[in-house]
Structure 1
């Protein structure tokens, strides 16, 4: 590939004046063209420039004339319509794919990437890279140069799973690397401050855009009404009203306001539409054994509430759930077909678009088109890693009997715009050729997809400044705000005899799961035996099992019992320490935990949702006070968990700690 400019000048190239004020809404702004005030900033590598009426424009298709879609003076909707009309069937089908950007050991595989862009027309990709900010920005620019060199010069949209939190689970989040590190969204819910969530979203937006990421595959608006569910950690808990406020603030932060998609937005992909958290028996629907959601409390409407916050914020995109209703499901006169939401016309067209008025992009969750057979159904054979069979994964729940070609047709007819994790555009081309879909129907989806690219200003300048990225990402102000949120999110569950904050007389500490250097930095002496300490400080994980460890996601997800049992390493440490010395325990609550047999041993118990040792010690020593309130209840026994209803919030009979419990000092 030939570059006419060095990476350092990608952003600076032809930057003239300030941004033009158009295309900032989330809807179709195909109304009257707006008069530009100043020259739009242009960033390019190889596209020629045109000068018309004293303004400059990129000649993206290199035909020597200014076409409507190249004219930044036109509204985004007008430009999107013009572009779609110029696209071939193959290019439209390619735009409906949301692939994975291919990588090497050190960065992107640009040869493979160029083949996807130029040969199949794909221009939306998830990135799995976790690099220092400057290197990440440089890599993003390389992808954009490929997009600019394509037939129509369509910029690439780069998406990411969450990058700002403590938990890193393959397929659900990404190692934060140099990004500011915040508590999980559960921790933001524990603070309960919408303005803080807005601030988080705004900081994350700036860090994403700095490195060239334009779409966030978040937030999770799912309600964690089933306490055993493995995806609880990415939610705002189980209270619908709280989650609604948090989701709205999160999206307004990422999208830079509540007016929809604009030039500084990161498109929020709110997920998973809808009912995912009502997981039958707590199993997750990434897995064949967990494909069902269930509503024994007839509480489907409750699970819609957080999405109302998303729509109030004009979320740019929605991702449907994998899950299938286990029993017949009817809501507001709509009877839903017993298929996953990605194939469900009642979910996507009747409810989402018609009743809820959603106008953005519907993006499928990953791999819903694939078959689930062999090891996907049975798990890996004994003695082999389930990851050896990752290529056999598929989540076609409810449509297992259909061919892949039939699944594509059914999904598009249901209301799907774009397909996650695949680049199989030929299936859509064949469907149109065979008369199963119309090219006009594909055009409707492609319009919605490219409209957002225009609204974000990517056709003018999709490039980022690597040097600025290094300064923006992880800057001191962002790290300070993140650390403050970590401290605030801690939930004080127990504090017998006011053991916290630690008294000045405490000098020696025994540690479990805490870096000794963090304690020594606070002036404490770290001892090797609990009996030699004034207090024991333990950081532990919520209990879990992995009864499906032969399945890919079952091998990494936390499933099963929420109770500590003998033999659990953390629980054994709690027992040993508490028998010798006053013991303070902080539990990482990626799911609710049953702490009945911890409360009777520990002098103090704190729930955390991601906190580093320095922030933890600030709270332990009283430099900061815990302010969090539980975003879900903590049950008292597994018998009560098994008796509760998966779709109903905080309904165990005798919770050990009710929802919104939290002490302070």
Structure 2
């Protein structure tokens, strides 16, 4: 009996009727009947755990990545991190339970390439050791966080859904995204973000959140869980528990954010979306590298906190699925303890999966040694491995790890999906101010300067305006425009009938060396006396820093579909239908509301 069949016998006994896995000549996995006593999925998962070595069990806890777009392509960065050069060798060495793709790390060329890559990685996983397929994952949140760009279908992201207020559309978007990921061999999406963004100065969440309203976040989180799990039948992951929505620090950096909500505030603000997701059957929950003194006064990151992960998430909230860490390479979780200790403490806290360990050899050995010494009991290790295997079983990772690359074109970025995405995004564009009655522009021929943030975004918008008869000029100035760039944009604005200036987190002076250069650009353009339309293509909060702007639009996203929707609104082809999903506070006065939740103009 092959190793694949031995694993199947131990793990599955049957998916529905005592089926065993077998690998065909083409590498496809098919089910062959073999009569065995009926067992629950939980029993089958525990049976598999008993057949695994200690190192194989620990491997299942790790979610790794590798640089490059092919399983057999060597990369010196892999050698530096893992001691081996190719993704296939990484899998052979660690036998990880999970894998994650990043566009920024050279994994993504196009959807068909990803399908081929996924198959190659799974072939390696199923030919190594106990031969367990991996759960391949990515962060396809949509909007400002995506790993697979066009031709995959793009949406406006969470806050755009919050502005549109449609649970049906949020579910549809998740279903489309999930089916496309599944066609590429990606069986887990680290989405939806369930954080309630109640802090306008939050540098890491912002538009990744649906709203500042816990009920709206809860409703849309549940809708997306249903879209991913029920419609697309992939694993969804609510993040970042216990809630990353009220911080001014970015946990990616060397600072541990602290959430100073009281327990009552946490219950009212942060907990509801996670409770709703659990009630809806969420498969997985990702931790946050944040300190919440009211939940755990130790000062430990939530990722390493047993009071938060076990006592609250498991005990009080009743979550029985897989808990995975946010990336362990992030600065916030590495501050208090060394990397080896972080890995062990996360498991002690109640976490099941260790995502992106920055010191894999050290952390793998630390977990193995902790089990051998009795610091982590074998029972505790087995619980996590069983949960991981059970999820793989119930989501079909074990029985159907391969995909057909030839079928990608009929699933990913289809005309029907693209049209649906555009229709959904068209409901989200929000007109916040129109004091001068500038909008809609109408069909009069005019010259328009498109300036501000985003080399691709400004060009995309200009192309959309040109299609509508405008003579469009682009002067992209970036996130921190120089004085020379500002002067040039002002000079060009004086030569055009209308200027559309795009801002992207103009409130965040940290990213512009505290010089507020985007704010300076907008104010200089307004001083020309020409018609200026300010558009926030990310966080809607920018208006607080140049409230003198008479015309202000929020798109929540700089994707192509968002720029098309913006052009439609500017020209009056559609009415702006979005409503603010957050309060916009007065600059420097977080408790004073400038524009309230639910505000949105139309005509």
> Could you tell me how far apart the structure 2 residues matched to 1:319 and 1:198 are?
20
Match of 1:77 among 19, 42, 49: 42
Q: Structure 1 residue 78: deviation in Å?
A: 3.2
CA distance in 1, matches of 2:191, 2:400: 24
Deviations 1:238-275 (A, max 9, x none): 11111000111111111125xxxxxx522111111113
Change (3 A) 1:559 1:420: farther
Q: Deviations over 1:425-454 (max 9, x none)?
A: 222211121121222221110000011111
Aligned to 2:444: 505
Choose between structure 1 and 2 for higher RCO, CA contacts under 8 A separated by at least 6 residues: 1
Alpha carbons 1:144, 1:155 under 8 Å: kept: yes
1:449 aligns with 2:412: no
- Show CA shifts across 1:531-571 (max 9, x none): 45443333222314464xxxxxxxxxx5998xx95xx2564
Which one of 268, 273, 290 corresponds to residue 306 of structure 1?
Answer: 273
Q: Which residue of 2 aligns with 1:16?
A: none
Greater helix percent: which structure? 2
Query: Residue by residue, what CA displacement relative to the aligned partner does 1:452-505 show, whole Å, maximum 9, x if unpaired?
Result: 111122222211111111221111111112222222211101123532222333
User: How does the TM-score come out when normalised to structure 2?
Assistant: 0.83
**Residue 135 of structure 1 aligns with which residue?**
113
Cα distance between partner residues in 1 of 2:43 and 2:27 = 22
The corresponding residue for 2:541 is 592
Cα 1:34/1:207, change in 2 over 3 Å: closer
Q: Secondary structure at the match of 2:308?
A: helix
Question: Shift of the alpha carbon at 1:416?
Answer: 1.2
Q: Secondary structure at the match of 2:99?
A: strand
Q: Which residue of 2 aligns with 1:537?
A: 500
Q: 1:67 to 1:458 in 2, by over 3 A?
A: farther
The C-alpha deviation readout for 1:297-346, integer Å capped at 9, x for no partner, is: 95121210111221122111111110113xx415xxxx654311121111
Q: Does 1:413 align with 2:413?
A: no
Q: 2:553 aligned to 594, 600, 606, which one?
A: 606
Change (3 A) 1:311 1:118: same
Counterpart of 2:68? 104
Q: Give how far 1:147 is off.
A: 1.4
Does the 8 Å CA contact 2:71/2:86 hold for their aligned counterparts? Answer: no
The farther-off stretch of 447-456 and 74-83 is: 74-83
Whether 1:324 aligns to 2:291 is yes
- Per-residue CA deviation, residues 502-551 of structure 1 (Å, 9 max, x unaligned), is 2333533333253333222111233694345443333222314464xxxx
Q: Is the 8 A contact 1:409 1:428 kept in 2?
A: yes
Aligned partner of 2:226 among 252, 256, 266: 252
Q: Among residues 525, 541, 549, which one is paired with 2:471 in the alignment? A: 525
**CA separation of 1:410 and 1:576: change in aligned 2, threshold 3 A:** closer
The equivalent residue for 1:6 is none
Q: Would you say the 8 A contact 2:371–2:378 is kept in 1?
A: yes
Q: 1:559/1:224 Cα in 2 relative to 1: closer, same or farther (>3 Å)?
A: farther
Distance in 2 separating the partners of 1:223 and 1:629: 17
Q: Is the 8 A contact 1:322 1:341 kept in 2?
A: yes
Q: Larger deviation: 110-119 or 495-504?
A: 110-119
SS of the aligned residue for 2:594 comes to coil
Residue 663 (1) aligns with residue 601 (2): yes
Match status 1:396 vs 2:370: no
Q: 3-state SS of the aligned residue for 1:314?
A: coil
Contact in 1 for aligned 2:525/2:532 (Cα 8 Å):
no
Question: 1:49/1:622 Cα in 2 relative to 1: closer, same or farther (>3 Å)?
Answer: closer
Aligned equivalent of 2:311 = 350
Q: Which residue is equivalent to 1:154?
A: 132
1:198 pairs with 2:171? yes
Quick check: 1:237 aligned with 2:211?
yes
Q: Give SS of 1:396's match.
A: helix
Structure 1 unmatched runs, 5+: 1-28, 58-65, 258-263, 369-392, 548-557, 642-651
Question: 1:43 deviation in Å?
Answer: 6.3
Which residue number corresponds to residue 571 of structure 2? 621
State the number of aligned residues: 546
Is the aligned partner of 1:461 residue 2:400?
yes
Kept in 2, the 8 Å contact 1:237–1:632? The answer is yes
Query: Residues 502 and 407 from structure 1, CA distance in 2 versus in 1: closer, same or farther, beyond 3 angstroms?
Result: closer
1:600 deviates by 2.3
Would the alpha carbon gap of residues 462 and 155 (structure 1) be closer, same or farther in structure 2, given more than 3 Å must change?
same
Which whole-Å CA distance do the structure 1 matches of 2:15 and 2:228 have between them? 26
TM-score normalized by structure 1?
Answer: 0.75
8 A Cα contact 2:447 2:472, kept in partner = yes
What root-mean-square deviation, in Å, do the aligned CA atoms of Structure 1 and Structure 2 show?
A: 3.1
